[in-house]
């Protein structure tokens, strides 16, 4: 990537690709000086593949069931992305645990979004876990990816209140709206050279970020 030239994004999905669509829209609006080089899914039935194709984006499916191990699958992913211009890899509802075989080649340019206020509730069923714990608020975290599951340094968090009438589905519906705001924002910071993964953790403009990342507020840029 050179100055002024749009960056190349690779987006990995497993389902309908709502965060993928947020990136497509951000690129179209000019909020990101980037274009989506390829959308890759491990799921042949992922609705997001059709959405991406309709937007004129290259799509690939690498079915994890065709591989004997996670490492073999990850090698195929690396080989796939090597065919495209990729400055930043975006995990957008990609429901596979990645191994160092994939993480290492893209270390420092690999972002994920997780539907909890990390370090709370890594893994699955995050909204129900927040409800079961009686938490007054829930939310979402953008973080760098490291070999530790959902354990990479957080970059940005958005919170929503937990309402008395909430169930997991209603809470998820409010949280995902915040996902579509903060994920492209964090990617923009990275593409502008402001956000980096260093040995000491995630930094923004050279300053070490808090252990839970920056709390999102309207107007944050």
pTM for the structure as a whole: 0.95
Peptide bond connecting 119 to the previous residue in cis, omega within 30 degrees of 0: yes
Q: What is the pLDDT of residue 116?
A: 97
CATH for 115-143+154-221 is 3.40.50.170
User: So what CATH class is 1-106?
Assistant: alpha beta
What are the phi and psi torsion angles at 60 (to 5°)? -140, 145
Active-site residue (options: 64, 114, 127, 143): 114
Distance CA 168, CA 138 (A): 11
Closest CA to 84 of 57, 112, 48: 57
Active site residue 180: no
User: From first to last of its 221 residues, what are the pLDDT tens digits of the chain?
Assistant: 555 799 999 999 999 999 999 999 999 999 999 999 999 999 999 999 999 999 999 999 999 999 999 999 999 999 999 999 999 999 999 999 999 999 999 999 999 999 999 999 999 999 999 999 999 999 999 999 999 989 999 999 999 999 999 999 999 999 999 999 999 999 999 999 999 999 999 999 999 999 999 999 988 98
CA distances for 143 relative to 111, 118, 152, 168, 220, angstroms = 6, 9, 6, 22, 17
Provide the residue ranges of all domains of the chain, joining segments of one domain with +: 1-106, 115-143+154-221
Residue count (the chain): 221
């Amino acid at each position: 990537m050179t100055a002024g030239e749009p960056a190349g994004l690779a987006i990995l999905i497993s389902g309908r690709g709502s965060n993928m669509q947020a990136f497509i829209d951000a690129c179209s609006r000019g909020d990101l000086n980037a274009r989506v080089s390829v959308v890759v899914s491990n799921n042949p039935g992922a609705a997001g593949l059709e959405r991406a194709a309709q937007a004129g984006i290259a799509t690939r499916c690498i079915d994890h069931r065709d591989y004997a191990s996670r490492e073999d699958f990850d090698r195929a992913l690396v080989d796939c992305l090597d065919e495209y211009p990729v400055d930043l890899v975006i995990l957008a509802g990609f429901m596979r645990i990645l191994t160092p075989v994939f993480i290492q080649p893209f270390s420092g340019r690999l972002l994920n979004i997780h539907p909890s206020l990390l370090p709370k509730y890594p893994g699955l069923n995050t909204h129900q876990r927040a409800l079961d714990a009686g938490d007054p608020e829930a939310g979402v975290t953008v973080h760098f990816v490291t070999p530790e599951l959902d354990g990479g340094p957080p970059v940005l968090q958005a919170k929503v209140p937990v309402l008395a009438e909430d169930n997991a589905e209603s809470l998820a519906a409010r949280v995902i709206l915040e996902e579509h705001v903060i994920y492209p924002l964090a990617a923009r910071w990275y593409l502008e050279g402001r956000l980096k993964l260093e040995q000491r953790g995630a930094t923004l403009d050279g300053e070490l970020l808090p252990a839970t990342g920056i709390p999102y507020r309207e107007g944050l840029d």
